[in-house]
Homo-oligomer: A and B are copies of this chain.
């Protein structure tokens, strides 16, 4: 003997329409079926829900309290069914995205916000990794999307280019390199290079293509830390331009006069695996991210 959702719906209808018979009518069932269900519910709960002493059966105070709880329950059932319907319409249950810490968060956040405003049932998980760590995480977690500076291509990976971005080689104004003209690689080697620690590869041989191979390299975690370290005069390093627009303008950071080029452009890519096709939310979010990256930061 078990509690039946359908019976709670019947209870609700009876109260709503005022009689067993009318509720039966609304349900397209015989009145005896309604009587039977209510009786069964009463027996199950051990509570008299209706007072039959009067002409029209009317709710007892206990029945009223049960009805309130029952309605809450019905609402929750509806929620569950809506959730299921969303899933069956192609919305995936979860969506994991790995993003390279070098890329700006703002457009992603804006895209996620827009996604959430569309009442999408998908639970989004966002992780930040650095350099090869992004792809490593993407592969080992079977993530759905990654946003990378660059990646190791495989036959399954599908990528869409985002708008081009630039990193700038900078140092603090008081740093010796800031005043130097025509800087060559050998000059750089005498100073501390600040770099983001690769979050993926344990292999210390792996190096960022932009790394100079100075004797002293500081590994930091995250570009905000890196920017701060550079501004404190700890060393020099590459920083995404969107992070230091203001600082370059008011010259609290100096772009180094590096002979081989103090700017390095790259096109971030939005990548997913054709082995794990994107669901509806994944496609939608991809489009949103693409859009947001076109906007100025």
Q: Is A81 in contact with B6, judged by CB distance below 8 angstroms?
A: no
Number of copies: 2
CB-CB contacts below 8 Å: A38-59 with B: 45-47
Binding site for B on A (CB under 8 A): 2-6, 45-47, 60-62, 64-66, 69-70, 72-73, 76-77, 79-81, 83-85, 87-88, 92-94, 121, 123
Kindly state the separation between the CA atoms of A46 and B89 in the bound complex, as whole angstroms.
9
Q: Which 5 A-B residue pairings sit nearest by Cβ, starting from the closest?
A: A46-B88, A61-B93, A45-B84, A62-B93, A69-B80
- What is the interface of chain A mostly: helix, strand, loop, or mixed? helix
Q: Is A61 in contact with B92, judged by CB distance below 8 angstroms?
A: yes
Kindly state the separation between the CA atoms of A64 and B123 in the bound complex, as whole angstroms.
12
- Minimum C-beta distance from A38 to chain B (A): 14
- Check A79/B69 contact, CB under 8 A, given A4-B4, A93-B64, A94-B61: yes
Q: Is A93 in contact with B65, judged by CB distance below 8 angstroms?
A: yes
Q: Is A87 in contact with B62, judged by CB distance below 8 angstroms?
A: yes
Chain A to chain B contacts (Cβ below 8 Å), 10 pairs: A2-B6, A3-B5, A5-B5, A45-B81, A46-B84, A46-B88, A62-B84, A65-B121, A66-B80, A69-B79
- Minimum C-beta distance from A264 to chain B (A): 39
Residues of B with C-beta under 8 A to A66: 80, 83-84, 87
Kindly state the separation between the CA atoms of A80 and B7 in the bound complex, as whole angstroms.
14
Residues of B with C-beta under 8 A to A70: 80
